[in-house]
Amino acid sequence: MTNLSTTIQLAKELINIDSVTPNDKGCQELMIKRLEAIGFTIERLRFGDVDNLWATRGHCEPLFVFAGHTDVVPSGPAEQWNTPPFETTITNGILYGRGAADMKGSLAAMVTACERFIKNQPEYKGTIGFLITSDEEGPAIDGTVKVIEYLKKNNVSINMCLVGEPSCTHALGDTIKNGRRGSLGAKLIVRGIQGHVAYPHLAQNPIHQITPALTELTAVEWDQGNDFFPPTSFQISNINSGTGATNVIPGEVEALFNFRFSTELNQDKITSQVEALLNRYNFDYEIEWTLSGQPFLTSKGDLVDAAQKSITEITGLQTELSTAGGTSDGRFIAPTGSQVIELGPLNATIHKVNECVATKDLDDLSLIYEKILEKLL
C-alpha cells in the first residue's frame, strides 16, 4: 500500500470493511481519525440502529458540506465475483470491491482533498462540514433525514452541499447531477368477489377490473418535462393476485407502481389525477401513497460554477448537468435551501458484481474536490 496515493489507501481501508446497510462497522471512525487530525470537531449521531457523523471545521459562512454514506448494498454470492468483494484488489489500475464506486471511493477523495486544502490554506474563509450516514442504501429513516432535523434544531444552515454519489457516465467529470426527480409510490388494491371460473356470473374478477385502469394510466402524458427534467415517468412494478389454482377467480388484486416526477408536478396533482381516473371505473379499491422524495434542482450558482470549472481544470471536460437517475440523500438536504449537487465517479458498475473504479479517477476526483474548496472558500 506504500506505493499507492493516500486517497487509494483510504479507499481500500474503507472498502475492506463489510459495512452492509445499515451497519457502519467502523468506517466512520476511520474518517473521524483523519478529520480530527486536521482540526474537525466531531459529533457522533446515532439514531435507531444507524451511525451518523457530523463534522465541522470553521465558524462562519458559507457552510460547505461533503455528504455521503458508508453503507453498501449486499455483495450477492461472493463466488460470482472475480475477487472477494470485501478484499480490495487492484488490477491494471482498476480498484475492485463493493462500495468502490458507491461510494467509499468518493469518501476517501473528500477526506484527502480536505487534508491538502487545509494544509495549504489553514485560514480559509467559511466552514467545511461532513454529513455521513450508514442508512442511504436502506430505508433512509434514521440517516441523513434525522441529521438534517438535528441541524435544524440547532440552527445550523447548510449553504452548499456536494454529495459524492457516482454521477458520471463515460468519463470522470462528464456529468454533474444538479437535481433529482421526485419519487412517489403507490399500492393499489382492487377487491372483487372470489368464485369458480366456471361460474363467472357469481364472481367478480378484480384482475379484469384493474387491467383497463392500469392500461389507461400507462397512456397518460403527465407532463412534458422542462429544460432540466425529462417527462414524468409512470411504471408498474408489481401485480399480485390469485390463489395459485387455475380454476379460482381471485378475490382481490394488488398493484404497485411508481412515479418519477419533475418539478412540473407535485404529489397532490398526481394523487388527485390518479384517483379521479380510478373513480371512473366504479370498482372497490383502496390506495396507499408513499412519497420518497420531492424533486429538487440547483440550476445555477456558486456551487455549480465551481464544480464545472474545477472539472475542466483537472480533466479538460465540459461537464453536463443532469437530473436523471434514482433518488439520493440530496432530497433531504435541498429542501433546507441549500445548493446541492452530486459529483462522484462512474456509475457503470454500482450495485453490480465486480463493482470497480479506476484508481486514477479517484485521485483526480480528490483533486476536483480540492479545487472546488479553493474556489468557494
Q: Which residues are known catalytic residues?
A: 71, 136
Confirm if 324 and 166 have CB atoms less than 8 A apart: no
One DSSP character per residue, 152-198 reads HHTT---SEEEE----BSSSTTSEEE-EE-EEEEEEEEEE-B-EETT
Q: How far is it, in rounded angstroms, from Cα 146 to Cα 151?
A: 9
Q: How far is it, in rounded angstroms, from Cα 203 to Cα 249?
A: 7
Cell matching residue 299: 440550476
Cell matching residue 87: 478484499
Q: How far is it, in rounded angstroms, from Cα 205 to Cα 155?
A: 56
Per the DSSP assignment, residues forming a β-bridge with 94 are 91, 358
Per the DSSP assignment, residues forming a β-bridge with 168 are 346
| Residues counted in the chain | 377
Confirm if 145 and 332 have CB atoms less than 8 A apart: yes
Measured in whole angstroms, how far is the alpha carbon of residue 229 from the centre of its chain? 17
Q: What is the DSSP letter of 205?
A: -
Q: How far is it, in rounded angstroms, from Cα 118 to Cα 141?
A: 33
Confirm if 295 and 182 have CB atoms less than 8 A apart: yes
Confirm if 124 and 114 have CB atoms less than 8 A apart: no
